């Protein structure tokens, strides 16, 4: 149809800038506690495992609420829910900065996890509905690149500001920036033209969720999200602990700036998304997983430079793979695309929670080689799922691999 948003138009630029900003805000706030886990452990006199709950509980509540919010957006619309989500997230971050104790911090982070759900799945559905299919891979890649920039900014701001001032000032800084970004988002994002509201009835919504789960290709893509994110969070949750210890003994600020590696994800998500449009999703997704495996193995080398290079290659592969898999969900789903996206992200964030926790057990018992072992297991299963998806979708001309 002629009214789809096409690459090269002003609406395309505005939509991508708005959703890039939305992804930036979401991921800056979501992962802001990750670089200061050791600080939270000292300040509140808690164990590293308990400190990690500030991230795990947030991603868990996000995963669960994603299913509900995605379904509500089918009736209430896309832009209004996304805007509310961004404003509420910013306000909650400012409240967390003043949390009097760790219990209150966790409660606010759980609420924040619920509110986070208002953007990711709906943003993917918006892109699937409004962007011209020929430009969808590039648009999804640009949106995913906002994830990497946001994750990078949140970690660097928290790591650096915490070192110079304290973690509370760091959170206040992120909260104020997020509030400004939310206002820009509202004015930039074009209104939906292809969204048709449905009557809010939970029985049909539940029925359609089950229909998505009965599609083996979609189910495999959901599993892909679980495995890719589980691997990624495991890597980044525990690399900081290793680099703070001998023989590296790096400072908190330097460890925080190592997250500059995220910049390779900004490039790879857009670049590999574009490659997938031209060369097929199967080959490029498999290449992304291969890069993750190679990078994980390189990180076992004791030399710091090679270890960081391995993490960079791993990150490059992850963001590219995630951009392709998430975009593939939107193309595969034939109905209720926001629900399909919600299910993908449900598995994605459950992977974050389970992978991060499981990685901690392996870290405590086997060190860094244990962390890499669980990551490699996840990624080898991901290779199998990629082959299954390819076999199914290659029979369907609407979802060419």
DSSP class of residue 253? Answer: H
Q: What is the largest CA-CA distance in the chain?
A: 60
Cα(313)–Cα(305) distance, integer angstroms: 12
Q: What is the pLDDT of residues 281-321, one digit of tens each?
A: 788 889 999 999 999 999 999 899 999 999 999 999 998 89
Question: How confident is residue 127, by pLDDT bands cut at 50, 70 and 90?
Answer: confident
Q: For the chain, first and last CA: distance in Å?
A: 24
> Crossing angle for the helix pair 10-30 and 53-76, nearest 10 degrees?
140
Cα(125)–Cα(326) distance, integer angstroms: 10
For the cut 70, the answer to whether the pLDDT of residue 180 exceeds it is yes
Residue 314 C-beta-side C-alpha neighbours within 13 Å: 28
Q: What is the pLDDT of residues 73-90, one digit of tens each?
A: 666 667 778 888 899 999
Which DSSP helix (H) or strand (E) runs through 348? helix 337-366
Question: Residue range 217-235: average pLDDT?
Answer: 92
In a domain, 101, yes or no: yes
Cα(189)–Cα(193) distance, integer angstroms: 12
Cα(196)–Cα(218) distance, integer angstroms: 23
1, exposed or middle or buried, with CB in 10 Å at 0-12, 13-18, 19+? exposed
Cα(56)–Cα(50) distance, integer angstroms: 10
Q: What is the pLDDT of residues 19-56, one digit of tens each?
A: 888 888 888 899 888 888 778 888 999 877 788 889 88
Domain with 65, as residue range(s), is 10-189+202-395
In a domain, 4, yes or no: no
Residue 149 C-beta-side C-alpha neighbours within 13 Å: 18
Number of domains in the chain: 1
In a domain, 331, yes or no: yes
What is the rounded average pLDDT for all residues in the chain? 83
pLDDT of residue 316: 92
pLDDT of residue 63: 85
- This prediction's pTM: 0.77
Per the rule left: phi > 0, alpha: psi between -120 and 50, beta: everything else, 46 is: beta
In a domain, 350, yes or no: yes
In a domain, 194, yes or no: no
Q: Which of 324, 315, 307, 345 is nearest to 393 (CA)?
A: 324
- What contacts 132, CB < 8 A, 6 or more positions away? 4, 5, 6, 7
In a domain, 400, yes or no: no
CATH code of the domain in which 306 resides: 1.20.1250.20
In a domain, 1, yes or no: no
Cα(3)–Cα(56) distance, integer angstroms: 41
CA 113 to chain centre: 13
Question: How confident is residue 197, by pLDDT bands cut at 50, 70 and 90?
Answer: low
Cα(39)–Cα(55) distance, integer angstroms: 14
In a domain, 2, yes or no: no
pLDDT of residue 395: 66
Q: What is the pLDDT of residues 364-395, one digit of tens each?
A: 889 899 999 999 999 999 999 998 888 887 76
CA distances from 236 to 31, 219, 256, 357 (A): 10, 26, 11, 12
CA dihedral sign of residues 282, 283, 284, 290:
positive
Q: Which of 113, 144, 125, 29 is nearest to 350 (CA)?
A: 113
For the cut 50, the answer to whether the pLDDT of residue 397 exceeds it is no
Cα(139)–Cα(277) distance, integer angstroms: 11
For the cut 80, the answer to whether the pLDDT of residue 129 exceeds it is no
Cα(104)–Cα(106) distance, integer angstroms: 5
């Amino acid at each position: 149809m002629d009214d789809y948003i096409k690459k090269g138009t002003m609406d395309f630029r505005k939509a991508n800038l708005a959703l890039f900003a939305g992804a930036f805000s979401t991921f800056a706030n979501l992962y802001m506690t990750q670089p200061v886990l050791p600080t939270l452990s000292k300040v509140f006199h808690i164990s590293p495992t308990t400190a990690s709950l500030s991230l795990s509980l947030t991603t868990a509540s996000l995963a669960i609420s994603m299913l509900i919010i995605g379904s509500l957006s089918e009736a209430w619309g896309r832009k209004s829910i996304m805007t509310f989500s961004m404003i509420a997230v910013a306000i909650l971050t400012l409240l967390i900065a003043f949390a009097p104790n760790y219990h209150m911090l966790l409660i606010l982070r759980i609420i924040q996890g619920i509110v986070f759900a208002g953007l990711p799945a709906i943003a993917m559905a918006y892109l699937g509905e409004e962007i011209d299919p020929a430009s969808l891979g590039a648009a999804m890649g640009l949106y995913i690149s906002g994830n990497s920039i946001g994750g990078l900014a949140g970690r660097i701001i928290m790591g650096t500001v915490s070192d110079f001032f304290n973690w509370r000032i760091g959170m206040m800084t992120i909260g104020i920036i997020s509030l400004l970004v939310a206002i820009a988002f509202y004015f930039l994002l074009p209104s939906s033209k292809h969204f048709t509201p449905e009557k809010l009835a939970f029985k049909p919504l539940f029925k359609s969720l089950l229909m998505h789960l009965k599609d083996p290709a979609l189910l495999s893509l959901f599993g892909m999200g679980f495995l890719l994110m589980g691997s990624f969070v495991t890597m980044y949750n525990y690399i900081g602990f290793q680099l703070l210890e001998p023989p590296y003994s790096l400072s908190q600020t330097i460890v925080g700036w190592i997250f500059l590696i995220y910049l390779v994800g900004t490039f790879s998500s857009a670049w590999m998304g574009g490659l997938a449009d031209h060369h097929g999703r199967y080959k490029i997704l498999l290449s992304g997983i291969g890069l993750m495996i190679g990078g994980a193995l390189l990180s076992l080398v004791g030399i710091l430079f090679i270890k960081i290079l391995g993490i960079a290659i791993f990150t490059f592969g992850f963001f590219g793979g995630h951009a392709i898999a998430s975009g593939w969900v939107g193309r595969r789903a034939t109905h209720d695309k926001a629900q399909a996206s919600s299910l993908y992200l449900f598995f994605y964030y459950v992977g974050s929670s389970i992978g991060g926790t499981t990685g901690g057990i392996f870290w405590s018992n086997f060190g860094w080689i244990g962390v890499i072992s669980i990551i490699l297991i996840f990624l080898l299963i991901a290779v199998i799922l990629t082959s299954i998806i390819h076999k199914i979708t290659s029979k369907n001309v609407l979802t060419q691999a």
